[in-house]
Structure 1
Amino acid sequence: MCVDDFPSSESATGAQRAESYVSAARRRRFLTESRGLRALLKASQFVTEELDLEDVLRSIVESAITLVDAQYGAIGVMDPDGHLDRFIPVGMPADVVEKIGFPPQGRGVLEVVNERTSPTRLDDLTAHPRAVGFPEHHPTMRTFLGVPITIGGQHFGNLYLTNRSRGVFTEDDEDLVTALAAAASTAISNARLYDQAQRAQRVSAAVGSVTAALLESAQNDVFGVLAAQAAELTDADLTYIVLSRARGTRAHVAAAYGERASAIQGTFLHTTDSVLTRALAGEQGLTQVDSTDEPLLKGKGLNGSTIAVPLVVSGAAVGALGVTRGGQHAPFTPGDLGMVSDFAAQAGRAVALAQARIGRQRLEVTADRERTARDLHDHVIQRLFGTGLGLQALAGSVPSYADVLEEHVSAIDAAIVDIRSAIFTLTARRPSQASRYRILDAVTELGQQLPASPRVTLTGPIDLMITGQLVEDVVAVIREALANVVRHADAETVEVAVVATETDITVTVSDDGIGVPDRPAHSRGVANLSERAAAHGGTFDLEPLSSGGSRARWHAPLSSELNE
């Protein structure tokens, strides 16, 4: 003990001298006892060894328990609003934690700790005026020590310790845990930086995969690729791309991937207030506990956490990217929200590149069609016309063969009419919303996954009769039917026929695959097709063909009310 440890006898009172003796004794004990400085240095070293944030938080609690001989410990992480966001308990068996259920809501004594900027030490926490008791299955706890953790002047969370093995928590214990909390703040900061670097690396790899997939010459399912990569990036059970360019007040699910994807693929979303509709309006969001209020997910059995962020392509907001985890998995965190937002922003640029590629390919196809149309007009039609004139002249000179020759001339005239119709189709300007081209786009997109491109037959005034909501349903029906063929039929050839009359629309998709099983399993996709038909007062049938394979037939009568 040095002289400087005490005030001079001339100025010190008896009480001051006594307090100085106690402080000096505490300092000496802190430096020499195993639970003092050496134990603190060892605990601090253990805490700073980890880089994963979850491991760091758990090691902080474990070190604090060892440091002050506590039975139980926990760390609570606060959200920006000051509410308990995460709670990591240590010391309780896993089955007990599971029986207790949800983590504490941050009320009672925990709320007292959260309100203070200094440690809270209680000999009996159950006797505190704001104590609210324990839930069922919770172990008994008496002595209590709560210490705040601050990072960069901001309140990060609190360290909680209970049931000291030898009596109540002391002032020395408070000093030790406060010092550990200071070391822990550095470890948490490092873990956060590491976590951010890891997330950035994962986003970069995912965007690279998206870009590579979208730039493949055979890949046209742009949003399907995006949804698949988002699922891999976030370990989500379901991902989906919702486009806001649909007519009316509903957004259209353009792509879905994962669990129950077929239940929402091609469906529409009413614009009720939800994290997804807010993302469509440009506001990213996160639900951490329960997604059952999401209109898109209601009744789908996914009651976990959901993230939704805006999807911007070429500077224009086109929709939203949503990812959902089931309740059996850990909920998304604000860090996950930032990762998904970064991914969507970078993937939007990849989508723009892919759309530019597809546009360039369409221009090449258009140029090739125009060349083919010119060749048909300048060469094929002229030759057929000349041949017809020659046959007519021959019929005049050989009357006995006139009838037969006239039949051939009529056949040539019919061929010329068909070729002129083909020329018109090849050279006609393509309206962006023309029904026939939306149908062809859907067939082309799904046809990439078949051994051979489907044969398409469009009969009747397709663009005139299939408009409004009906075209959305027809395109969705073709997508779903072809998707079923890809997944289940193992077919070599597929035919798609759309017939439009003044009274009804019929869509038929036939294949030469394995046919319809005797006891087909329940399919949400088939149910969707039936529901779409019923909404128009129509029918849907899936039947085996006698020659092998199956045929899906979707029929809907036309009415002015439904076709608006």
Structure 2
Amino acid sequence: MSTESGEPLPRLRLDDLLDELHARIGAVRSTRDRVQSLLQAVLDVGRGLELSQVLHRVVEAAVTLADAEYGALGVIGEDRNLSAFVPVGMSDEIQERIGPLPRGHGLLGTLIQCPEPVRTADVAGHPDFRGFPEHHPPMRSFLGVPIRVRDEVFGNLYLTNRRGAPEFDAEDEAVVSALAVAAGVAIDNARLYEDARRRETWLAAAAEITSALLADRPQTEVLRMVTRHALRNVSADLGAVLVRADGAQVLRTAVAVGEGAELFAGLRPLPRAGPLAAAFTGCGAVVVDDLSRELRAGEELGLGAAVLVPLGAAGPARGVLLLARGKGRASFGTAETGPLVGFAAQAAVGIELAERRKHARRTATEEERERVMDDLHDVAVQRLFALGMGLEALRRLVRYPPEAVERLTRLVDDVDTTIKLISSAVLRLRLREQPGVSTLWARVAATVEQAAGPLGLTPVLRMEGIPDGATPGPVADQVTGVLTEALDNVARHARARSVDVHLVAGDGMLAVDVTDDGTGIPEGVVLGGLADLEVRAAALGGGLVLETPPGGGTRLRWRVPLTGHPRPTT
């Protein structure tokens, strides 16, 4: 016999089983048919490896052998209460009317505390009986037998209402006890099979996460995958990843999956305290019996048992994986939290490695870009400048024919324009390397780039001596507004084929020049936006001048006083 993955399962402990069965059958004083029924029941409970099905078959076999009206199997959890309850003989409607399944108190708890067979003719007369819940069917005779798996008590068989007799006798006890031995072996094998399948499920989930990281999926998508796999593998109702909110002592929800995910994700930042703080600073799972006691969100969403696992291998975690079940559901046991901790740690390491790999690639790209920019600035531009000077010298020597002179003049202008374009591109690339820095340089470059769409071309940008951090706040704020208005006017009215933006700081003044080769401003037309620019300049002690360059078009010159020391030319 083997698992679906081909892994062999341990053989049934046949020697132990036969010895125990021989001892139990020796106590049975019944017909040959009953012995045959016991042997058949032993074979039946050993069929299949699905734990839930094995448990149900055990109860059905016990009810049949003891001729009981009702039967149940209670699984003992780590808290010594019943973590699962498998009833037989009671309809779903009655179970729903009764309400939550028993937790293992009263007479049921007696077997948990003292795992020995218990028989009584009248359950209500037993000293440990605490009464039945509302809508519970009447029960009198009772037989309880523990089920051991290896050296631990796995749970107990409960049988009530012996048919055809006022109570269960010693023979019933012996038969059911013999069945409990076989059930223990079958349950052990089913649990081993279930553990093997669970490991395969976790491994498959880890493999999928690794594949997503290697494919450079967005981190939010990867975290959602981690949460979804964990939610399914531990049978939780809600899963979420919580991270620090900008380094503060509060947490925000990065992703949420499951029932009430949208509501949970929309909550205000959660306090980093209690179990949340313990999960961030610890290295293992933090199990919470009732999340509603720790978080108001847990009460609003009807959440009960929860487990919090750090997303990190060592030291303060980068985040916390929260998994919660609805109220009334069982708490999380070590069989679930153990693999979960390993999975979360493995996922966190994968995310960390992926981020470092991206950072390394980004650094290499930035270094290559810097090298290219240096080459453009130090080599290409200088050679173009030398070429332009050579062409200019040649133009002075050539007097005839006029077409050659005109052609040389255009070539000199083209070289000059190319130098401006390369210098502008290098400047913009260098500013992009610091996207988080809100300097005057960066703001001007961003404004010029945004204007490229409406203009249908990319303006040439040059900045000389811009003092950046030393620029007064009011002046820096006005510069972007002036550029926006000036470029917008060019886009709407000029029909230009080229636009130059030139910022110069020197002699205590800041000058913003915007030059285009468009149609110019028609006579008699007053642009309201230009009047506004003049008002802005006057408010800062400066002025606005409109000029028509020799080749046509329009040049806007906006100048204001500048305090501080100008920077070197860039």
Superposition TM-score, scaled by structure 1 size: 0.61
Whole-Å separation in 2 of the counterparts to 1:220 and 1:322: 17
Alignment of 1:96-111 (within 5 A): 96-111=94-109
Write out per-residue CA displacement over residues 378-403 of structure 1, whole angstroms, 9 at most, x where no aligned residue: 24544676699899999999xxxxxx
Q: How does 1:248-287 map to 2 (within 5 A)?
A: 248-265=248-265, 268-274=269-275, 276-282=276-282, 283-287=284-288
Structure 2 regions of 5+ residues with no counterpart?
1-24, 398-412, 439-466, 471-570
Partner of 1:357: 357
**Cα deviations across residues 51-110 of structure 1 (Å, max 9, x unaligned)?**
111111111111110010001111111123322222221111001111111112322211
The farther-off stretch of 127-136 and 229-238 is: 229-238
1: CA distance, partners of 2:372 / 2:296: 46
Pair 1:59–1:326, CA change in 2 (3 A): same
Shift of 1:129: 2.4
CA deviation string 1:357-410 (max 9, x = no partner): 32332233223322332233224544676699899999999xxxxxxxxx9999
In structure 2, the residue matched to 1:83 is: 81
| Selected match of 1:94 from 78, 92, 98 | 92
Do 2:122 and 2:142's aligned partners in 1 also have CA atoms closer than 8 Å?
Answer: yes
Q: C-alpha distance in 1, partners of 2:201/2:389? A: 71
What does 1:96-175 correspond to in 2, within 5 Å?
A: 96-166=94-164, 167-175=166-174
Alpha-carbon distance, 1:261 to partner = 4.0
Alpha carbons 2:70, 2:159 under 8 Å: kept = yes
Query: Could you give the per-residue CA deviations for residues 4-24 of structure 1, whole angstroms, max 9, x where no partner exists?
Result: xxxxxxxxxxxxxxxxxxxxx
Distance 1:326 1:58, change over 3 A: same
Report the equivalent of 1:32: 31
The equivalences for 1:148-547 within 5 A come to 148-166=146-164, 167-217=166-216, 219-221=218-220, 222-234=222-234, 236-243=236-243, 246-265=246-265, 268-274=269-275, 276-282=276-282, 283-287=284-288, 290-295=290-295, 297-298=297-298, 301=301, 303=303, 305-313=305-313, 317-326=317-326, 334-379=334-379, 381-382=381-382, 418-419=424-425, 421-422=427-428, 424-425=430-431
Conserved in 1, the CA contact under 8 Å of 2:58 and 2:183?
Answer: yes
Pairing 1:53–2:51 present = yes
State which drifts further: 105-114 or 409-418: 409-418
Moved more, 211-220 or 197-206: 211-220
Q: Distance in 2 between matches of 1:365 and 1:237?
A: 43
Q: Encode CA deviations 1:117-174: one digit per residue, 9 max, x unaligned.
A: 3211010011122321111110001000111122232222211110000221001111
> Any idea what the Cα deviations from partners look like across 1:196-237, whole Å, max 9, x if unmatched?
000001011111111111101455544344334434544544
Q: Distance in 2 between matches of 1:296 and 1:329?
A: 19
> What secondary structure does 1:318 align onto?
coil
Query: 2:312 is paired with a residue of what secondary structure?
Result: strand
Give percent identity, aligned residues only: 37
Offset of 1:417 from its aligned partner? 7.1
Give the match's secondary structure for 1:256.
strand
User: Contact 2:293/2:299 (CA < 8 Å) preserved in 1?
Assistant: no
2:72 matched to which residue of 1? 74
Under a length normalisation based on structure 2, what TM-score does the superposition of the two structures give? Answer: 0.61
* Secondary structure at 2:198 match in 1: helix
Hey, what's the Cα distance between the residues in 1 that align with 2:372 and 2:259?
Answer: 45
Cα distance, 1:331 vs structure 2: 6.9
Q: Counterparts of 1:98 and 1:196 in 2: how far apart (Å)?
A: 31
The aligned amino acid for 2:149 is: I
Paired with 2:151 and 2:366, the residues of 1 have a C-alpha distance of 63
Question: Is contact 1:269-1:296 (8 Å) kept?
Answer: no
Aligned equivalents of 1:148 and 1:223: distance in 2?
43
- Partners of 1:28 and 1:260 lie apart in 2 by 56
Q: Secondary structure at the match of 1:147?
A: strand
SS at match of 2:248: coil
Distance 1:366 1:238, change over 3 A: farther
Deviation at 1:192? 1.0
CA distance in 2, matches of 1:228, 1:153: 36
State the alpha-carbon separation in 2 of the partners of residues 118 and 243 from structure 1: 49
Residue identity in the other structure for 1:230: A
Q: Is the 8 A contact 1:56 1:188 kept in 2?
A: yes
Answer whether contact 2:28 2:171 (CA < 8 A) is retained.
Answer: no
What letter corresponds to residue 428 of structure 2 in structure 1?
A: A
Distance 1:149 1:29 in 2: 19
Q: Say if 1:232 and 1:78 are closer, same or farther in 2 by CA, change over 3 A.
A: closer
Instruction: Return the letter of the residue paired with 2:269.
Output: F
Secondary structure at the counterpart of residue 319 of structure 2: strand
Number of equivalences: 405
- Across the aligned residues of Structure 1 and Structure 2, the Cα RMSD in angstroms comes to 4.2
Please, which moves more after superposition, 124-133 or 314-323?
Answer: 314-323
Aligned-partner Cα distance in 1 for 2:228–2:171: 54
Instruction: Tell me, yes or no, if the aligned pair for 2:298 and 2:304 is still in contact at 8 Å.
Output: no
Shift in alpha-carbon separation, 1:366–1:237, aligned structure 2, 3 A: farther
The CA distance in 2 between the partners of 1:408 and 1:40, in whole Å, is 102
Cα distance in 1 for residues equivalent to 2:381 and 2:387: 10
Amino acid at match of 2:431: T
**CA offsets 1:279-330 (integer angstroms, 9 cap, x no match):** 2232303456x54345384466352543322222488743322233456988
- Tell me, yes or no, if the aligned pair for 1:220 and 1:358 is still in contact at 8 Å: no
SS of corresponding position for 1:74: strand
Q: How far is the alpha carbon of 1:277 from its aligned partner?
A: 3.9
SS of the aligned residue for 2:29 comes to: helix
Residues 244 and 280, structure 1, Cα contact 8 Å, conserved in 2: no
Q: Distance in 2 between matches of 1:124 and 1:299?
A: 41
CA distance in 2, matches of 1:79, 1:318: 32
- For the Cα contact (< 8 Å) 1:31–1:38, is it kept in 2? no
SS in 2 for 1:254: strand
User: Relative to structure 1, is the Cα distance of residues 256 and 395 closer, same or farther in structure 2, using a 3 angstrom cutoff?
Assistant: farther
Distance in 2, Cα, partners of 1:117 & 1:218:
53
Q: Contact 1:68–1:164 at 8 Å: present in 2 too? A: yes
What are the superposed Cα offsets for residues 464-520 of structure 1, whole Å, 9 maximum, x if unpaired?
9xxxxxxxxxxxxxxxxxxxxxxxxxxxxxxxxxxxxxxxxxxxxxxxxxxxxxxxx
- When residues 228 and 109 of structure 1 are mapped into structure 2, their CA distance, relative to the original with a 3 A threshold, is closer
- Name the amino acid aligned to 1:284: A
CA contact under 8 A between 1:392 and 1:409: conserved in structure 2? no
Q: Which amino acid aligns with 1:120?
A: V
CA contact (8 A) 1:279 1:310 kept: yes
- What secondary structure, in the 3-state scheme, does the structure 2 residue paired with 1:280 have? helix
